[in-house]
């Protein structure tokens, strides 16, 4: 069973958050407002995003930043770092967008070409399913892979890419 988590907000979470970032001295890109707020807490070794431990659970810090500002990112959106700095938690630099918009912004290949790379997708799906089986958090994996939680759940349950198994994804 996958968890669909809301971000907790309150003085305790606010304090843990406020204690763990500093204003970047580097110049930010022209199209973003103000400097980056660089996360000084834990960085996820896989996704390279900042994470915050609060009330017994771990959350992505960019989602916490938006929730604390009173504008939580919907769970079916991915959070785009407009400054391209994954460790940034300045809510002014964060924009919740759809998976489709995320692909439009960052996809290096046209959609036809992507759909053609079946093998690559299958390999990613197998990897994702394995990580879900090992108990990794679906919310975070979905974000890392740039897909919705619903999609991650379906891949995990074998509804999508069921034919793809490790070492047999050439089919
Ligand atoms: Zn930033």
Q: Residue 113: its pLDDT value, please?
A: 45
Please tell me the distance from the alpha carbon of residue 132 to that of residue 117, in angstroms, as a whole number: 23
Report CA(96)–ligand 1 centroid distance (Å).
Answer: 14
Q: Residue 122: its pLDDT value, please?
A: 72
CB 91 within 8 A of CB 71: yes
Cβ neighbour number for residue 10 with a 10 Å cutoff: 10
Q: Which range is least confidently modeled, 13-27, 29-43, 54-68, 152-166? A: 152-166
Report CA(114)–ligand 1 centroid distance (Å).
Answer: 29
Three-state secondary structure call for residue 57: strand
Q: Residue 169: its pLDDT value, please?
A: 37
Report all structural domains of the chain as residue ranges with CATH numbers, in order of start. Answer: 11-103 (3.90.75), 108-156 (no CATH)
Report CA(91)–ligand 1 centroid distance (Å).
Answer: 8
Please tell me the distance from the alpha carbon of residue 83 to that of residue 76, in angstroms, as a whole number: 22
Report CA(22)–ligand 1 centroid distance (Å).
Answer: 11
Report CA(97)–ligand 1 centroid distance (Å).
Answer: 16
Report CA(160)–ligand 1 centroid distance (Å).
Answer: 35
This prediction has a pTM of 0.63
Query: Which of the 8 DSSP states describes residue 40?
Result: -
Report CA(38)–ligand 1 centroid distance (Å).
Answer: 7
Please tell me the distance from the alpha carbon of residue 144 to that of residue 147, in angstroms, as a whole number: 8
Three-state secondary structure call for residue 107: coil
Report CA(93)–ligand 1 centroid distance (Å).
Answer: 5
Q: pLDDT band at residue 60, thresholds of 50, 70 and 90?
A: very high
């Amino acid at each position: 069973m996958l968890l669909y988590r809301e971000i907790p907000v309150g003085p305790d979470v606010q304090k843990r958050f406020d204690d763990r970032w500093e204003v970047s001295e580097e110049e930010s890109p022209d199209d973003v407002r103000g400097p980056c707020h660089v996360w000084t807490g834990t960085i996820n070794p896989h996704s390279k995003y900042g994470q915050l431990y609060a009330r017994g659970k771990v959350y992505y810090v960019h989602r916490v930043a938006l929730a604390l500002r009173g504008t939580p990112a919907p769970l079916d959106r991915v959070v785009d770092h407009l400054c391209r700095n994954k460790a940034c938690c300045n809510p002014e630099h964060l924009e919740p967008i759809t998976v489709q918009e995320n692909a439009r912004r960052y996809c290096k290949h046209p959609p036809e070409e992507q759909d053609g790379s079946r093998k690559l997708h299958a390999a990613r799906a197998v990897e994702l399913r394995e990580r879900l089986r090992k108990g990794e958090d679906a919310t975070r994996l979905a974000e890392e892979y740039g897909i919705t939680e619903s999609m991650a759940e379906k891949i995990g349950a074998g509804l999508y890419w069921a034919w793809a198994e490790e070492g047999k994804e050439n089919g």
